[in-house]
Chain A
Amino acid sequence: MASRRLGRWVPPVVLAVSMLVLVWPLAAEYGDVVLNHNSDKAGVRPVIFPHWFHRIRFRCKVCHHELGFEMRAGANDVKMRDLTQGKFCGMCHNNEVAWGLENCGLCHSGKPGLAGGIYGGHRTLGPGRW
């Protein structure tokens, strides 16, 4: 009898839990860029650059004008040597403007094998995309 009464609660509980899990989407944030010219080849995780996080702190012109990042995913061939010399991400990630290059895992945070490019539900690859 007791187990019967308990059983009655299973469907609503399953429902509630599944609703909680399903309210979160499963897609990358809009404007996330994966940089993977060299990372996979060198055996480190691909780099994920989050636009949303940086644009709260910097205007586009800081990176795309002052620091000279080309506005095309994949157009910048970045090597760690450039970063340690203060170029690209290394202009800020130098323990002055932002935390330094020793925090490998914060930049190299992608799933191995990700293709480089822009992610997050963008819709500029032609009408067929949407």
Chain B
Amino acid sequence: MARNLVGYLSAITFLAAAVFLVGCDRPGDLESFATKGPPSAEPASVNVPASPPEPVIPWALLAHDNLHDPRNPSLALMQEPAEALSVLSPAQEGNFVNWVAALRSGEISPRTNVYPETKIRVLDLDVLMVDTAAMPVVLFPHRPHTEWLDCSNCHDKIFVAKSGANPVNMFRILQGEFCGQCHGAVSFPLTQCQRCHSVPREQALQAVPK
């Protein structure tokens, strides 16, 4: 009897811990913050666990996402995110899909237009944004953007088309302005610093002689 009691108690403790972990929004959150810290100063001999376990299934079921009404009979006709997204190039956060890689590798081929007369404009131009304090410099690539978006989505609604002419900073991005209008809402989230801050400063200085 006592043995059983111990068993039940440990199960309940485990449940409580699991509920707490799930309560932290998504498992990805914990991971991303864990990897952002300075490189660990642990001596090599210490047996540090490699990383927290991968989230087993990062996509919620539609009926349990706190958004869809489970009583809606049409829910059964809809596709579960996990079914469609788990087969695409993975990423750590957001939809847990690297949409740039998914497009480039041909895993998806989304239509560029509905009306035949619409002009498709793609531009291959990288712009360095160097006002990044101690962070690596931001490389803004036009190619992956214009594969998804039209120039008019950004110019001149969000950005003036002139290098260095926009008062961008991280605070305003986090408020949902500039890059933050898309990144953090639909495109990869702002916790993935290194995808924007991708060029070490020394390298950037070589590329653009002052």
Further contacts, 20 of them, CB under 8 A, given A111-B68, A118-B185, A121-B26? A7-B4, A18-B15, A25-B59, A25-B60, A26-B65, A29-B95, A32-B65, A48-B68, A52-B97, A55-B99, A58-B114, A59-B111, A61-B148, A62-B111, A66-B115, A67-B114, A92-B114, A103-B74, A109-B74, A111-B69
Complex CA–CA separation, A122 to B180 (angstroms): 10
Given contacts A56-B84, A123-B190, contact A61 B112 (CB under 8 A): yes
Which among A55, A118, A126 has the greatest number of chain B C-beta atoms within 10 A? A55
Given contacts A15-B11, A60-B153, A105-B73, contact A126 B67 (CB under 8 A): no
Complex CA–CA separation, A102 to B10 (angstroms): 52
Residues of B within 8 A of A104 (CB): 74
Q: Is there contact, CB below 8 Å, between B77 and A106?
A: yes
Q: Is there contact, CB below 8 Å, between A11 and B78?
A: no
Complex CA–CA separation, A59 to B175 (angstroms): 25
Residues of B within 8 A of A50 (CB): 81
A-B contact count (CB 8 A): 197
Q: Is there contact, CB below 8 Å, between A56 and B72?
A: no
Q: Is there contact, CB below 8 Å, between A24 and B74?
A: no
Residues of A within 8 A of B163 (CB): none
Q: Is there contact, CB below 8 Å, between B72 and A45?
A: yes
Given contacts A8-B7, A66-B115, contact A31 B25 (CB under 8 A): no
The answer to whether A125 has its CB under 8 Å from any CB of chain B is: yes
Provide 5 A-B residue pairs closer than 8 Å at the C-beta atoms, listed in order of the A residue. A52-B85, A52-B95, A58-B111, A105-B72, A109-B72
The answer to whether B136 has its CB under 8 Å from any CB of chain A is: no
Chain B interface size band reads 35 or more
Q: Is there contact, CB below 8 Å, between A125 and B176?
A: yes
Q: Is there contact, CB below 8 Å, between A62 and B114?
A: yes
Residues of B within 8 A of A109 (CB): 68-69, 72, 74-75, 78
The answer to whether A1 has its CB under 8 Å from any CB of chain B is: no
Complex CA–CA separation, A22 to B175 (angstroms): 32
The answer to whether B108 has its CB under 8 Å from any CB of chain A is: yes
Q: Name the residue on A nearest B183 (C-beta).
A: A124
Residues of B within 8 A of A58 (CB): 110-111, 114
Name the distance in Å between A46's Cβ and chain B's nearest Cβ. 9
Given contacts A10-B7, A124-B174, contact A110 B67 (CB under 8 A): yes
The answer to whether A57 has its CB under 8 Å from any CB of chain B is: yes
The answer to whether B18 has its CB under 8 Å from any CB of chain A is: yes
Q: Is there contact, CB below 8 Å, between A31 and B186?
A: yes
Residues of B within 8 A of A12 (CB): 7
B-contacting residues, A20-55, CB 8 Å: 22-32, 34, 45, 48, 50-53, 55
Complex CA–CA separation, A112 to B67 (angstroms): 9
Given contacts A28-B66, A48-B67, contact A71 B153 (CB under 8 A): yes
Residues of A within 8 A of B18 (CB): 18-19, 22
